[in-house]
A and B are shown apart, each in its own frame.
Chain A
Amino acid sequence: MAPLQLTGQVLDVRRAGLYTVLSLTAPGLAERTRPGHFLNIGIGGEESALLLRRSFAIYQVQSRGVYGGSVDIVVGVHGKGTQWLVDRRRHDTLSIVGPLGRPFTLPKEPANCILVGGGYGTAPLFMLADQLRERGCRVDVIAGAATEEKLFGTLEIKRAASTLTVTTDDGSMGVHGRVTDVLDDVITRSNADVVYACGPMGMLAAVAEVAAARGVYSQCSVEESMACGVGVCMTCVLPVIGDDGVTRMVRSCVEGPVFRGDRVRWSDVGTVPADTLGAPTGGH
């Protein structure tokens, strides 16, 4: 279904640890949204000097209610744009484009699924966990971050999960270490068929590697800088191996952000590998 371009009103702004959860009116968005979709938000109004939209994973959607539908996103302050966003107040309006991207693929048969979220990367996993459980899947969650305050939603996600394992780099909460330090055990314990992951690129690379080593299928939602978010500019590319075995620079906004973990050339992200289709052959 085609994405919508609409003006949403801020319904609520609330803090959650280091993050801010924004609820926005968005009629029609919920019906189109599947877990893993993202949306793009305009920053600073019509004449803004910040021209490019910022991308956020869709955290929650409500299809009905007084507002004819709404959407929630989780915002971590990174630079000017995200700072402007968390400074919004009730009744402010925002320009929204979405849902965008290719969402997570759900198993046709009940399966054992592990969901791994890094920092605010847990945001899209809530909807995913609910839908997996509706399909009779077992859901185990691993949430990791540098510190306790950089975790998002660990209390709530527990409700949708058979088990929750928390890791922090500094040991301020849960296991002292990284998500991949516990992933192997959780795979064994849950007899996992699929690993879903969303978080920083380094974490995704490590998750994909562990999953591949265990022969488990993985789907990773990547985060690449995007100018348009709708597939027209070619800024958001990364090297991905296609069904034909050929590596291409693939747009993560339309062919992702969710990719099969074994198809992304993680260690080559940020480069154009020499065997990529159309790679420079020297000379220029």
Chain B
Amino acid sequence: MSRALFTSGPLDASLALPAVDMATSIGAFETPAPVFTASGCAAAGKELDQFFDITAIGGIVTKSVMLNARSGRATPRMAETPSGMLNSIGLQGPGIDAFIEHDLAWLRQRGARTVVSIAGGSVEEYGKLASKLRSVEGISAIEVNISCPNVEDRGQVFACDPNAASNVIQAVRRNADTRTPIIAKLSPDVTDIVTIAQAVERAGADALAVINTTLGMVVDLETMRPALGGITGGLSGPAIRPIAVRCVWQIHQALPNLPILGMGGIRNGEDALQFILAGASAVSVGTVTFHDPSAPLRVQQELETALARRGFTTLRDAIGYAHRGPDLPEIDEDHE
């Protein structure tokens, strides 16, 4: 591990900082850059490519796709909340075949690293989705959104039950190309997120995405009814960042070798650094993209600066750095 030089005062902006090696890996997926979009916050990359070069970031995580076309829920689908928002989109999408034909084809031709997010209503549907993606080229990893109701179990959310979560990951692992890393995306709405993390790891997950939105609700005071068409919705944005950092920390502590794609309210490079220090190998920027459509690339550049300012020469050295014992690191007194 390289020696971290801690500087306290603000650095002169004109001072050229040394470049940081930003390469990282999510299981077998090696990427030169650590910042990704978040599923459902970037569609399939095309729109954001108007604002920044999507090949310059870690990659695009596409909107969770299901087997068949889905209309999604009725509007209103969102409500702004302090430093965040609630959404109840209902996984609107074209279905896997149209997605492969149009969206994935575009991403491949554009040369963007692509993580495909899949979602299903049954274990079987997840398996089918994975086998559909088997022969498709240009997929860096599959992210499995298990925050979906299981239609075969009274709508219980897969992510909230270790057995249901494992069954989904097993089905995906069995049907996907063995070379494609599987990322299980966890929900924070559980009593003990580590139990779920351990279960999906045993089921064959190569990495985790942490966290999905947390369930919330807003009552509209004009109509005096729930503000969202779907009544409840997923809370995201800076409001949930401390919850997300806590989840990453707990999982990394229990499973230090399992790579984590961290997310939840990342707004700038220093927010991203918190996730890396807590144990994430890479991060996704979601809701903040609605505020700043070039946020993923900006956050990546700011993360590099934030690392350099703390004396890191490689991103890998910073992963989980907040977990080190009290005797570490060696602080160079000259720079204090």
Which residues of A approach B to under 8 Å, CB–CB?
2-3, 5, 42, 47, 49-53, 95, 97, 224-225, 227-235, 237-238, 248-249, 254, 269-272, 276-280, 283-284
A227, B121: Cβ atoms under 8 Å?
Answer: no
Does B289 reach chain A (CB closer than 8 Å)?
yes
B85, A52: Cβ atoms under 8 Å?
Answer: yes
Chain B residues contacting A279 (CB-CB under 8 Å) are 71
Closest chain B CB from A257 CB (angstroms):
14
For window 59-88 of chain B, which residues contact chain A by CB distance below 8 Å?
63, 68-78, 80, 82-85, 87
Stretch at the interface among B45-53, B134-142, B160-168, B194-202: B45-53
Q: Which of A51, A248, A283 contacts B287 (CB 8 A)?
A: A51
Does B55 reach chain A (CB closer than 8 Å)?
no
Cα separation A133 to B121 with both chains bound (whole Å): 55
A51, B71: Cβ atoms under 8 Å?
Answer: no
Stretch at the interface among B22-30, B242-250, B290-298: B290-298
A2, B50: Cβ atoms under 8 Å?
Answer: yes
Cα separation A237 to B151 with both chains bound (whole Å): 25
Cα separation A238 to B229 with both chains bound (whole Å): 13
A270, B229: Cβ atoms under 8 Å?
Answer: yes
Does B32 reach chain A (CB closer than 8 Å)?
no
A235, B151: Cβ atoms under 8 Å?
Answer: no
Please report the total number of B residues contacting A with Cβ < 8 Å.
46
Known: A233-B89, A248-B71. 10 other contacts (CB 8 A): A5-B294, A49-B83, A51-B237, A52-B290, A228-B289, A228-B293, A238-B75, A270-B75, A277-B71, A280-B71
Q: Which of A3, A228, A237, A271 contacts B290 (CB 8 A)?
A: A228
Q: Which of A232, A254, A269 contacts B42 (CB 8 A)?
A: A232
Cα separation A232 to B293 with both chains bound (whole Å): 10
24 pairs, A vs B, C-beta closer than 8 Å:
A3-B51, A5-B293, A5-B294, A42-B292, A51-B83, A52-B80, A52-B290, A95-B292, A97-B293, A227-B85, A227-B87, A230-B47, A234-B89, A237-B92, A249-B92, A270-B229, A272-B73, A272-B74, A278-B70, A278-B92, A278-B93, A279-B71, A284-B149, A284-B155
Chain A residues contacting B237 (CB-CB under 8 Å) are 51
Closest chain B CB from A236 CB (angstroms):
8
Does B288 reach chain A (CB closer than 8 Å)?
yes
Q: Which of A95, A232, A234, A238 contacts B289 (CB 8 A)?
A: A232
A227, B71: Cβ atoms under 8 Å?
Answer: no
B69, A278: Cβ atoms under 8 Å?
Answer: yes
Q: Which of A95, A231, A235, A280 contacts B78 (CB 8 A)?
A: A235
Chain B residues contacting A270 (CB-CB under 8 Å) are 74-76, 229
A224, B121: Cβ atoms under 8 Å?
Answer: no
8 shortest interchain CB distances as A-B pairs: A278-B69, A2-B50, A228-B290, A278-B71, A231-B47, A278-B70, A235-B78, A235-B77
Closest chain A CB from B61 CB (angstroms):
12
> Residue of A at shortest CB range from B150?
A284
Cα separation A141 to B318 with both chains bound (whole Å): 63
> Residue of A at shortest CB range from B287?
A51
In this complex, the member of B92, B149, B291 whose beta carbon has the largest number of chain A beta carbons within 10 angstroms is B291
Closest chain B CB from A11 CB (angstroms):
23
Closest chain A CB from B94 CB (angstroms):
8
Does B204 reach chain A (CB closer than 8 Å)?
no
Closest chain A CB from B70 CB (angstroms):
4
Cα separation A254 to B42 with both chains bound (whole Å): 14
